[in-house]
């Protein structure tokens, strides 16, 4: 009887240690990724949609490879959603490197043009900045550890977009 109780306690202790190790790995993974937005460029018009490319730099501070296995983002001007950006593309972030990634967007021109005109008028005439927000989630993983809803958010004022894109998140250099 004592032997069975000891085995049960051993199994419970092993399960607790396993879950703790998994959570530790997830927290390390979250701490190992940083991003900054380098710029947005106009890529053309296709079938009533504006195509833009958002160039981002992802920093991997870990000693292991990290994969971004897709993203689901939305672009907003003030509180109006103007674009949805969804992809299942796999991006590989090699250990201790900064990797530039281009994320293509397709924006409904009727929504975007209306918001753009209102934003430019507010900025030029009223000297009021609108806010451009890119937010959503990404799926990142390394080995068996995976995070399906890694949060992503970047916010810029109209003035920042006119002058130069600046990241909300300052990424320290990789050493």
What ranges do the domains of the chain cover? 32-163
Residue 115 is predicted with a pLDDT of 62
Give mean pLDDT, residues 6-32.
Answer: 69
pLDDT over 50 at 77, yes or no: yes
Q: Where are the beta strands (DSSP E) in 23-144?
A: 33-46, 49-60, 66-77, 80-87, 91-93, 97-108, 131-142
Residue 116 is predicted with a pLDDT of 63
For the stretch 157-170, pLDDT in tens is 767 666 654 444 57
Distance CA 81, CA 135 (A): 11
Residue 98 is predicted with a pLDDT of 92
Give the up-direction half-sphere exposure of residue 116: CA atoms within 13 A in the CB hemisphere: 12
Task: Compare 81 and 98 and report the one with higher pLDDT.
Answer: 98
Helix, coil or strand: residue 151: strand
Residue 137 is predicted with a pLDDT of 92
Give mean pLDDT, residues 140-158.
Answer: 80
102: pLDDT confidence band, cut at 50, 70 and 90?
A: confident
Give mean pLDDT, residues 91-118.
Answer: 76
Task: Compare 40 and 87 and report the one with higher pLDDT.
Answer: 87
Q: Report the topology of domain 32-163.
A: Immunoglobulin-like (2.60.40)
114 φ/ψ angles, rounded to the nearest 5 degrees: -60, -45
């Amino acid at each position: 009887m004592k032997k069975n109780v000891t085995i049960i306690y051993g199994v419970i202790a092993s399960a607790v240690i396993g879950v703790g190790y998994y959570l530790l790995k997830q927290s390390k993974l979250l701490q190992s990724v940083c991003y900054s937005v380098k710029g947005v460029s106009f890529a053309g018009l296709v079938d009533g949609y504006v195509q833009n490319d958002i160039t981002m730099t992802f920093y991997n501070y870990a000693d292991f490879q990290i994969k971004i296995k897709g993203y689901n983002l939305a672009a907003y001007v003030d509180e109006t959603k103007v674009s949805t950006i969804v992809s299942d593309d796999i991006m590989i972030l090699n250990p201790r490197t900064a990797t530039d990634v281009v994320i293509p967007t397709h924006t409904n021109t009727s929504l975007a043009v209306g918001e753009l005109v209102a934003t430019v008028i507010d900025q030029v005439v009223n000297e009021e900045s609108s806010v451009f927000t890119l937010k959503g989630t990404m799926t990142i993983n390394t080995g068996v550890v995976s995070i399906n809803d890694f949060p992503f958010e970047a916010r810029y004022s109209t003035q920042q977009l006119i002058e130069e894109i600046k990241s909300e998140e300052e990424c320290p250099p990789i050493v």
